[in-house]
Amino acid sequence: MEFFYKYILPISIIEIIAASVGTYLFLKNKIKKPHTLIVYYLWLVIVFESYGFMVGFAKHTEYEYFGFLEDTFFQEGRWAYNIFRFLSTILFIFYFLNFIKNQKERIIIQVLTLCYIVFALILLSDIETLQLSGIPILIIAQSLLIFITIFIFFLNLLKSNNILDLRTHFPFYVALGYLFFLISTTPIDLYFKYYDIKVNEMYVNLRASIYLIINLFLYSTLTLGFILCFRKKKSY
């Protein structure tokens, strides 16, 4: 349980704080489309990570708890992780497309996204592939697609009046937080197949430490963005 209290609990707390702040402002009718996509994303994170915790806790207790998972397809959390990465990638692409006005750039991103969706669905439609621990080619494709999208977003931002007041421009917080998240996690996710504390404790602890730091940064950035951009006025 030390691993849970040291690495997982702090991340869960900051995720819930970010989702709660976003939901509160949404219910107060201060967050409009497309920013509601980020609120949906935060709750998507909580749902999938709750399932992951349930799977991990079941294994830790040798299925004394959540015993209904034992010897079923759902006793492993890898499939959920792969689906989550797919869904979150699409969600972020659609979010940033709302702030990219150049038609040629939008078409480039849309074509790349369509290719990614087809490629990912072909891979993930195979049950054995779906249950793999991190699919390197898919991780690279997802990261490159979002890197390109955020890069184009920043180019558009530099050409717009929003560059004069970044403090109240919520997409900037999303782009900044998620860009650092990808830069930090993509390299270690490529070696996710080694995630076994009995075999490679150093990798497990390194990955957990990096995820702790970058998740605290990401969700703190989103929370700060919610407060600064939507507490008093809309963000554009």
Ramachandran region of residue 29, left (φ > 0), alpha (ψ -120 to 50) or beta? left
Q: What is the pLDDT of residue 192?
A: 67
Quickly tell me which residue has 């709302």 as its tokens: 98
Q: What is the pLDDT of residue 88?
A: 94
Question: Could you give the C-alpha distances from 94 to 99, 131, 151, 205, in angstroms and in order?
Answer: 10, 26, 15, 34
pLDDT, averaged across the chain: 87
72 contact partners, CB below 8 Å, separation of at least 6: none
Question: pLDDT tens digits, residue range 111-126?
Answer: 999 999 999 999 999 8
Lowest mean pLDDT: which of 30-34, 60-64, 129-133, 204-208?
60-64
Question: Is 84 a residue whose pLDDT tops 70?
Answer: yes
- Helix H or strand E encompassing 93: helix 78-97
Q: What is the pLDDT of residue 28?
A: 85
Q: What is the pLDDT of residue 163?
A: 83
6 contact partners, CB below 8 Å, separation of at least 6: 208, 212
Confidence of residue 165 (pLDDT cuts 50, 70, 90): confident
Question: Is 63 a residue whose pLDDT tops 60?
Answer: yes
Query: Is the Cβ–Cβ distance between 178 and 92 less than 8 Å?
Result: yes
Q: Mean of the pLDDT values across residues 64-86?
A: 84
What is the C-alpha separation between 28 and 164, in angstroms, rounded?
A: 27
Query: Is the Cβ–Cβ distance between 203 and 195 less than 8 Å?
Result: yes
Confidence of residue 72 (pLDDT cuts 50, 70, 90): confident
Question: Is 199 a residue whose pLDDT tops 70?
Answer: no
Q: What is the pLDDT of residue 60?
A: 74
Q: Mean of the pLDDT values across residues 12-34?
A: 90
Confidence of residue 167 (pLDDT cuts 50, 70, 90): confident
Question: Is 102 a residue whose pLDDT tops 60?
Answer: yes
Question: Is 187 a residue whose pLDDT tops 70?
Answer: yes
Q: What is the pLDDT of residue 132?
A: 81
Q: What is the pLDDT of residue 73?
A: 80
